[in-house]
Amino acid sequence: MQALSTEAWSAIHALTPHDRNVMDEMRAVIEPNKGKLRGVAARAPYEAIMGRVVAPVGVNFRPDTIGGVAGWWCEPADAEPGTVILHAHGGWFNWGSAESFRHFVGHIARSARAKAFVPDYRLAPENPFPAALDDIHACYLGLVESGARSIALTGDSAGGNLALVLLALVSARSFISRPAVGAVVLSPVTDLAMKGASWESRKTADPLFVREQAEELVRAYLNGRDPADPAASPLYGDLAGLPPVRVHVGDDEVLLDDSIRYVERAVAAGVDAKVDVWEGMVHGFLGSIGQLDAAAQALDAIGAFLSKQLASPRRA
């Protein structure tokens, strides 16, 4: 698949004929339910969706508790000792679990040849902001205390939001002996004020989400807090001094501009940041590994980046 350069910090990957056919079939299944996943009632169907991700070969899964937070380890047989990926799962802050995401994250771990931990952070509305952030921060500190030599952050959707906020947090705190070596986020929710132009420009192309649906979920998470608080929306934070960041997003997502604007700001702040935009792809396309060319190629790029960063620990 050819990558067409746009800015130095972005690339657009052309849609292959194979992926066009696969996406047409997927859209026929998912579009009738567009915008219908609402509130806590959506947790069970969301778990079922994530549970369909095929398990990666050669990866062992086991539950554990790190930093007082329960979760699941994804452990490739050939993982490099001392390297760890901390992954914050998606679900609009209201849905998802470490168990249902373990296969999805297992593919990332296998590609990077590093074990990954997925925390079961607390969900809204029962536990609104900043409970989820507090949990993944505690988990990161637990990994540091356990002696992890090198830690990278990953996250998808709302988990991408949490990973980027945590990245800024641990990069700014000099007392942490193991700052994160980098981050990869997939279609991150970076702006809870929802000011991105793609909420309008991609509202027809996106087969999953509508603005009203997302607004309800964000309100449940924020519980009255300012959406422009940098701890809630990484787009508005101080991005100077961050380690390298890579972002992957589908071109047919209402969240497209959340990715592009974040990377644009990060680059302006001097960060080694890049965004890969995948034509014809929708939110969560990486979960279709084994079906989509784009998913396989994005996963290869993610694994190569994480392997490189994890091999060079960043000092405080």
Catalytic residue among 89, 103, 248, 283: 283
Q: Is the separation of the CB atoms in 236 and 229 below 8 Å?
A: yes
Are 182 and 309 within 8 A, CB to CB? yes
Catalytic residue among 137, 253, 279, 288: 253
Return the amino acid letter for 204: T
Q: Is 224 exposed, middle or buried (0-12, 13-18, 19+ CB in 10 A)?
A: exposed
Residue whose tokens read 């949490």 = 162
The gap between the terminal CA atoms of the chain, to the nearest Å, is: 38
| Alpha carbon 213 to chain centroid, angstroms | 20
Q: Which of 100, 150, 157, 288 is catalytic?
A: 157
Q: Is 201 a catalytic residue?
A: no
**92: DSSP letter:** T
Is the separation of the CB atoms in 283 and 206 below 8 Å? Answer: yes
Is residue 240 helix, strand or coil?
Answer: coil
User: How many of the other CB atoms lie within 10 Å of CB of 27?
Assistant: 17
Q: Contact, 252 vs 206, CB < 8 A? A: yes
Cα 150 to Cα 57: distance, rounded to the nearest angstrom: 24
H/E stretch holding 103 reads helix 98-112
For residue 314, the tally of other CB atoms under 10 A from its CB is 16
Q: Is 27 left (phi over 0), alpha (psi -120 to 50) or beta?
A: alpha
253 carries an active-site annotation: yes
Report the catalytic residues.
Answer: 157, 253, 283
